[in-house]
């Protein structure tokens, strides 16, 4: 529920929308530096405003106001898209989301605005952005920026949509498209997990601990690692979305389950390959001298041993990979390359 101050602000917005002139932001009448709140100044400079009411005015001109000049409308939409994609405007969208809705009674949703600008303006033949960005290379650049932005917000569905639309303007080889598609698999996650496995699998102690302790005791450390990994993803996703967004839980759960699945898959590949090169006492050759990668095919007991080692190491590898990524780079583990 909005506060009284915010309700008053919404009323000022509605009054401004109904007025004859929209050259100034809704709050400009109360500002001593009124000239600095001329919306056309931001359009001319292509600059981003730090004033939420100016941003509201720019959005109105881009998304709502009827404009007979498509090029002029396209310039406003380009400026609003620039605001949507910039990390500098997070505060603005916090305020706009707190206001609840725009002049049409619709929720002010950052991601929906970006998708609408791409779908209804850039990709439509007579769209305002399409008139402004007449070349295929420019349209491809728009879609590429939106694609990476959606990925940084862990919205793979919309990022995939931008990628699919971008292919109609791309003429690269199959190899180029394959390399371009790798970003959807979060390669930093994969690389971090592989690094996390190395200290675990190349030391005999981790093998001994995984096999010598009972199942119950062996699950305590992996469960703690899973909990800490989920907290990391939860906080990372939440910090990349506006406060109050209801999407962060679902997106955090998806990226966490994906990372855990990748860790299990990599473990299934690395355990057999590394296990045969460990010293005899760590190679677990007490099991009839069989190589680890043959455990699956020689009885349920051997399969459960393999499973025990896998379930012990995969959560730890995920947590170690996240920790190493935090120490080595300033970008999160899920950041696109």
pLDDT digits (tens, 9 = 90+) for 227-237: 999 999 999 88
- Whether the pLDDT of residue 306 is over 80: the answer is no
Q: How far is CA 331 from CA 154, 288, 305, 320, 325, in A?
A: 14, 47, 37, 16, 8
- Bridge partners for 38 per DSSP: 24
- CB-based contact 115:140 (threshold 8 Å): no
pTM of the model: 0.79
pLDDT digits (tens, 9 = 90+) for 259-299: 999 999 999 888 777 765 554 444 454 443 444 444 444 44
pLDDT given at position 256: 94
pLDDT at site 146: 92
pLDDT of 47 above 70? yes
Averaged pLDDT, 57-80 = 83
Per residue in 157-209, pLDDT tens?
999 999 998 888 877 777 778 888 888 888 889 999 999 998 888 776 777 77
Considering the chain, what percentage of its residues have pLDDT values greater than 90? 21
pLDDT band at 32 (very low <50, low <70, confident <90, very high): low
Give the pLDDT confidence score for residue 127 in this predicted structure. 84
Q: What is the pLDDT of residue 283?
A: 44
pLDDT at residue 281 in the model: 47
Reading the block at residue 5, the tokens are: 């101050």
Where is pLDDT greater, at 132 or 195?
A: 195
Condensed to tens digits (0 to 9), the pLDDT of residues 99-109 reads: 655 555 567 88
CB 320 within 8 A of CB 222: no
**Which of 85-94, 214-223, 292-301 is predicted with the least confidence, judged by mean pLDDT?**
292-301
pLDDT of residue 169: 81
Q: How crowded is residue 64: how many other Cβ atoms within 10 Å of its Cβ?
A: 14
The mean of the pLDDT values for the chain is 77
pLDDT reported for residue 264 = 94
Q: Above 80 in pLDDT, residue 82?
A: yes
Highest mean pLDDT among 199-208, 235-244, 301-310, 324-333 belongs to: 235-244
Question: Are the C-beta atoms of 201 and 270 separated by less than 8 Å?
Answer: yes
């Amino acid at each position: 529920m909005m506060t009284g101050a915010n309700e008053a602000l919404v009323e000022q917005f509605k009054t401004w929308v109904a007025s004859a002139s929209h050259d100034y932001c809704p709050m400009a009448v109360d500002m001593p530096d009124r000239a600095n709140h001329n919306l056309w100044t931001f359009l001319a400079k292509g600059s981003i405003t730090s004033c939420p009411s100016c941003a509201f005015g720019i959005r109105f001109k881009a998304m709502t106001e009827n404009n007979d000049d498509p090029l002029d409308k396209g310039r406003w939409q380009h400026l609003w898209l620039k605001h949507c994609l910039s990390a500098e405007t997070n505060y603005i969208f916090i305020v706009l989301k707190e206001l609840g809705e725009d002049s049409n009674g619709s929720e002010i949703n950052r991601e929906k605005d970006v998708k609408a600008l791409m779908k209804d303006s850039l990709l439509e033949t007579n769209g305002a952005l399409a008139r402004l960005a007449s070349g295929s290379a420019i349209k491809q650049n728009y879609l590429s920026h939106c694609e990476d932005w959606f990925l940084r917000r862990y919205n793979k569905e919309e990022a995939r949509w931008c990628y699919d639309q971008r292919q109609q303007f791309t003429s690269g080889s199959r190899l180029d498209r394959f390399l371009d598609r790798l970003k959807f698999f979060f390669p930093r996650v994969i690389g971090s997990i592989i690094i996390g496995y190395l200290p675990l699998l190349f030391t005999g102690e981790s093998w001994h601990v995984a096999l010598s302790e009972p199942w119950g005791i062996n699950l305590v450390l992996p469960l703690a690692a899973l909990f800490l990994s989920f907290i990391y993803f939860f906080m990372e996703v939440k910090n990349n979305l506006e406060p109050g967004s209801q999407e962060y839980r679902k997106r955090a759960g998806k990226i966490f389950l994906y990372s855990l699945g990748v860790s299990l898959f990599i473990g299934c590949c690395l355990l057999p390959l590394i296990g045969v090169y460990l010293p005899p006492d760590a190679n677990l050759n007490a099991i009839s001298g069989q190589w680890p990668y043959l455990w699956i095919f020689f009885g349920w007991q051997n399969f459960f041993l393999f499973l025990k080692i896998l379930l012990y190491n995969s959560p730890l590898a995920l947590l170690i990979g996240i920790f190493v990524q935090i120490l080595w780079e300033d970008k999160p583990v899920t950041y696109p390359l």
